[in-house]
Structure 1
Amino acid sequence: MTVALVPAAGRGERLGSAGPKAMVFLHGLPLVAHAVRGLLAAGCVRHVVVAAPSSHQAEMIAALSAFDRVSVVPGGADRTASVRLALHAALEHVPDARIVLVHDAARAFTPPALVRSVTEAVAAGAPAVIPVLPVTDTVKRVDGAGVVLDTPDRTHLRAVQTPQGFDVDVLRRAYEAASGTVATDDAGLVERIGVPVHTVPGDVAAMKITTPFDLAVAEAVFAP
């Protein structure tokens, strides 16, 4: 059994929105609805839990009312707290869940095939799995003054996407050990407890919509 968590309490300031980023509309639906639709379309997700800002609970529930097997819970003060709350709620809905996916609402057009790929890799025995893409730009490491320190070899660098998939016990352990920690990457918490994180090929369609430019690109590329 697989459950999916969607922390959607982040603000949309960089998108020019006064409310949650997940509630920014694109092609008639908020980003969170596109993301949830993709998760359910994969055919392997039993239940989705969305962690929403307490100030926008009713709005988020209404936006997702067309979907079965979806719950909305109040999010926490930060992403880590929201995932922790969503995980607790998901395991109440599906106590026998063995795989947990954590997905960014901003990656609204992630292909269902990528959701299946991550899930299948965890089901095959990997304790933690993330989708990745090769880094194509040259990367520089700089100091506090912006002066270049060195140029890492990008051969071994990867850009990370979501959903990230985990054995439920592994993710639970990672969050128990992360008390007081604020993280933007769940796999990073798993790394801290010494569990290996495996990778599968990502997909350019799983782009993260963060800025008005990203939104314009997504509007053009993912036109119905």
Structure 2
Amino acid sequence: MSDDSRPAPAAAARTAAVIPAAGRGVRLGPGAPKALRSLGGTPMLIHAVRAMAASRAVSLVVVVAPPDGAAEVKSLLDAHALPGGTPSGSWGRTDFAVVPGGESRQESVRLGLEALPPGYDIVLVHDAARPLVPVDTVDAVIEAVRDGAPAVVPALPLADTVKQVEPAAVPGDPEPVVATPERARLRAVQTPQGFDRAALVRAHETVTGDVTDDASMVEQLGLAVVVVPGHEEAFKVTRPLDLVLAEAVLARRRLNDGF
């Protein structure tokens, strides 16, 4: 939940968040799309939208829905509107919009960007499958963009040693190790990733190859990407065990903080 005692942000750089939620989430098994799976009795997507709206800097959230599911997602957001969000399309001080997505995450983010009205200089791109990112992490990303970084990613040091391998021709066969990267120089990247809007738009206009995140597109433009500390609770819910962990985190928050 947001803390209304937090100082209101300066009006100079307005921030919008784009949440691509058009994927099916097959690794969680059959059923509803991953973003619509229940977490603590509430769809994960709603938790993700609330996580963005918890920041006083975020005044607009654009949800990119499955191509044939925009009306369903809009109804879902209306049904879970926070107290104070009286008109349709608003949760208190944070407005939201829903647009149909594309066939890939990259296309869905581009469609979300195109739906942003003028006047938003900072854009966050956040995974719907990271429903529990704390507001302090969101604010740290925004602040780093305000300080001049074209792209900002929250990230954590790796706990495990990482091996680079030669992929096996047959899945499940032994794979030879070709290198052991220095763990101290590696980070596990999370979201929301934050961007100067113009840089992100140019990246989506320029980079056509398949990418795993938006920051790598900005990297390909030769622009700087910086890392700020992530948070262990901003993990991605991808597999059934992740959902169990997310339920435990949410239960602890509700017990300790009334979240």
Superposed pair shares fold, TM > 0.5:
yes
Q: Give the secondary structure class of the aligned counterpart of 1:129.
A: strand
* Structure 2 portions without partners, runs of 5+: 1-13, 83-89, 169-174, 255-259
Structure 2 counterpart of 1:138: 161
The equivalent of 1:176 in structure 2 is 205
Greater displacement, 17-26 / 194-203: 17-26
Measured against aligned partners, the alpha-carbon deviations of 1:81-114 in whole angstroms (never above 9, x if no partner) come to 0000000102x2xx11110000000000000111
**Partner SS state of residue 200, structure 2:** helix
The alignment's TM-score, normalised by the length of structure 2, stands at: 0.83
Counterpart in the other structure of 1:167: 196
Per-residue deviation, 1:16: 1.6
Superposition CA RMSD, Å: 1.0
Matching residue's letter, 1:21: K
- Among 181, 185, 209, the alignment partner of 1:156 is 185
- The amino acid across from 1:144 in the alignment is P
For residue 81 of structure 1, the aligned residue among 99, 107, 110 is: 107
More helix by share: 1
Quick one: distance in 1 between partners of 2:133 and 2:30? 22
Deviation of the 1:20 alpha carbon: 1.5
Q: Structure 1 residue 63: deviation in Å?
A: 1.6
% same residue: 52
Find runs of 4+ consecutive structure 1 residues off by over 6 angstroms.
Answer: none
Q: What runs of 5+ residues in structure 1 fail to find an aligned partner?
A: none
Secondary structure of 2:233's match? helix
Residue 3 (structure 1) shift: 0.6
Q: Any idea what SS the aligned residue of 1:200 has?
A: strand
Q: Which of the residues 45, 49, 52 maps onto 2:62?
A: 49
Q: 1:59: Cα distance to partner?
A: 2.0
Q: CA deviation at 1:182?
A: 2.7
2:95 is aligned with 1:96:
no
